[in-house]
Copies of this chain bind each other. A is one copy, B any other.
């Protein structure tokens, strides 16, 4: 008998028929003797409906009242799902964030979980009930409702799994797992049966939308086994055996350090949201980087990659990337305020760029990943504009037109391609 925390998103809860279907799935787990805690989001569209009501009243609604408002979406979901489970003859009990209680800090709209009292849930589970918990919400010390921000239901699921010491936390999504890369870019993308927390964090921060970064961080910190699996495939529901554990979805777990069997690279992520800015002909004085970047960060623009060329003839070129949505604003700040101040020759911008990243904990013990990567790109006549690295990741900035060619070539070169019968066809 296992204790499983399952999280179903807004799409899975999107209609009464879908809610009934989720109830049936939960029944199968329950009937197989497992204890089940279910975390749910609001019915799809409901949170946006509520936010729209708030914005009809105020551009900047009071944050406490905003959370009081939007938290009702999940409360509706838990009540309806509990009713649907009871209708199948299984006792169920819903818990709001407050009823658990999930205690958070005071940061309305983006609160962080501080503490969970798992006692009331445990006692309902021991009484044979299914427990249904509202995702995305908690209470602060004064008893006010807080919300965890978008995607917070994943975090609720992981936090509950940690508090209950659950066997695993299952996140049901519209994809059937984490892939070596986006299957829309190469049909040879392969579903990973396993990936480490660190790799998943890099994949998520590099643009993979499967899981919220905060949920992965939380799972890594508390070492909660986290499985991403399909909300459409119910064929192995309730069978928490070796076959299930090794084949269904993708398990995100600790690095077991068995690098002999580990591939060097686990996946290739990419991010089309980058834009590059080059400040040319900057006098190479101390403090010039700060003079360029401080006005940018003062405008709440985040900077990703940074490169300063070697100085020639006393001047240098300074390049960095920002999110494309901030590109125009950053260019304006540099042209209007910075260029004259630092006596730069030119500010050049390019938003036709994309960042491609190799991710893998195996990289730690294998030299030569970077040189192999550059070689593959060179063979394909792809110019590298910028490079950044971390312990388990190498990223390059290339022209956007080269994206598909680069990903396919690297996917093959690093042995990620699926072979016959290797995996199901990507469900994206």
Residues on A facing B (Cβ under 8 Å)? 16, 19-20, 50, 53-54, 56-58, 61-62, 64-66, 68-69, 71-72, 75-76, 78-80, 82-84, 86-87, 92-94, 96, 98-99, 143-144
Contacts and interface: CB of A to CB of B under 8 A. Distances in A.
Given A16-B53, A57-B16, A75 B68 contact: yes
Contacts of A144: 99
Which of A65, A86, A93 has the most B CB atoms < 10 Å from its CB? A65
Given A57-B87, A66-B79, A69-B83, 16 more contacts: A16-B53, A20-B57, A57-B83, A57-B84, A58-B84, A61-B86, A64-B93, A68-B75, A68-B82, A68-B94, A68-B96, A69-B75, A69-B80, A72-B76, A98-B98, A99-B144
A86 B65 contact: yes
A129 to B, nearest CB: 11
A143 B80 contact: no
Contacts of A143: 99
Contacts of A75: 68-69, 71-72, 75
A79 B75 CA distance: 15
Nearest to A69: B79
Given A68-B94, A86-B62, A94-B68, A57 B80 contact: yes
B69 A76 contact: yes
A191 to B, nearest CB: 34
